[in-house]
Amino acid sequence: EAGVAQSPRYKIIEKRQSVAFWCNPISGHATLYWYQQILGQGPKLLIQFQNNGVVDDSQLPKDRFSAERLKGVDSTLKIQPAKLEDSAVYLCASSLGRTASPYEQYFGPGTRLTVT
């Protein structure tokens, strides 16, 4: 079974630039999550999709971050404009959805973003 795919793996940008991350979840997984993980901390949930609808985006900085999940499969997370404090690893995860435990999530390898 293929895992969660993310690209790019690494990205370096200057502050005030924009950046986008892509995620392809495990086939058949209805729920998709984006997390931000700052060095030395646990992942923090940014947004959760159920199919192509947003379930929770309470911790997404909406003035600069946006995310979409078209057709309920792939998803993109965008930052515009980036700030220095956005330097982190951005993780995508998926799970089967409401018929299974949301705690059993499958994570991708992440995208390491460095903002200079």
Partner 1 sequence: LAKTTQPISMDSYEGQEVNITCSHNNIATNDYITWYQQFPSQGPRFIIQGYKTKVTNEVASLFIPADRKSSTLSLPRVSLSDTAVYYCLVGEWDDKIIFGKGTRLHILP
* Positions in the binding site for partner 1 (CB under 8 A): 4, 40-45, 48, 56, 91, 93, 98, 101-110
From the centroid of its chain, how far is CA 65?
11
Question: Closest distance between partner 1 and the C-beta of residue 56, in Å?
Answer: 6
User: CB of 81: closest distance to partner 1 in angstroms?
Assistant: 26
Q: Which is nearer to partner 1, 27 or 101 (CB)?
A: 101
In the bound state with partner 1, the residue whose beta carbon lies nearer, of 13 and 45, is: 45
Query: Between 77 and 108, whose beta carbon lies closer to partner 1?
Result: 108
Closest CA to 4 of 39, 28, 37: 28
* Residues in contact with 95: Cβ distance below 8 Å, sequence separation at least 6, in sequence order: 29, 30, 31, 33, 101, 102, 104, 105, 106
